[in-house]
Amino acid sequence: MLCRASYAETVFNLSGSEIVFLLVVGLVVLGPERLPGVLRTVGKTYGDLRRMARGFEQEMKSGFEQPIKDLRETAEGIKKTAFGEIDPEPSPPMRPEQAVRPPDSPQDGPDA
């Protein structure tokens, strides 16, 4: 069974009883005359903050969109040339193989 949480629960991690408790405390502290105005102001400020955050997110996405696109194109190009296509012909050695000889050293032994 999928339980769907309310928006307040997901953002502030508040349950229904905690929200009711906060409203009752606000009613006692602020009084019935000021509580609706304070709630309206808090809601408006919260909405403004969400809009600003969404705008900032959009700016960041649009600012990084082209560089990320370029990086993806470069990665795809590297994938195709470096990893995707295999040359069936072996490449020639960088230098011809030579027989390994010991270095020339003076013969200082008893046979000299």
2-12 tens-digit pLDDT:
555 566 556 66
Check residue 108 and report its DSSP letter: -
pLDDT of residue 51: 94
The 3-state secondary structure of 82-100 reads HHHCCCCCCCCCCCCCCCC
pLDDT of residue 1: 45
- Show the domain range for 46: 7-78
Any domain includes 84:
no
- pLDDT of residue 55 exceeding 90, the answer is yes
32-46 tens-digit pLDDT:
888 889 889 988 999
**Cα separation values, 61 from 6, 66, 93, Å:** 28, 9, 48
User: Average of pLDDT values for 39-55?
Assistant: 92
Any domain includes 14:
yes
Any domain includes 68:
yes
Any domain includes 108:
no
Q: What is the DSSP string of 38-72?
A: HHHHHHHHHHHHHHHHHHHHHHHHHHHHHHHHHHH
Number of domains making up the chain:
1
Any domain includes 1:
no
User: Average of pLDDT values for 67-73?
Assistant: 89
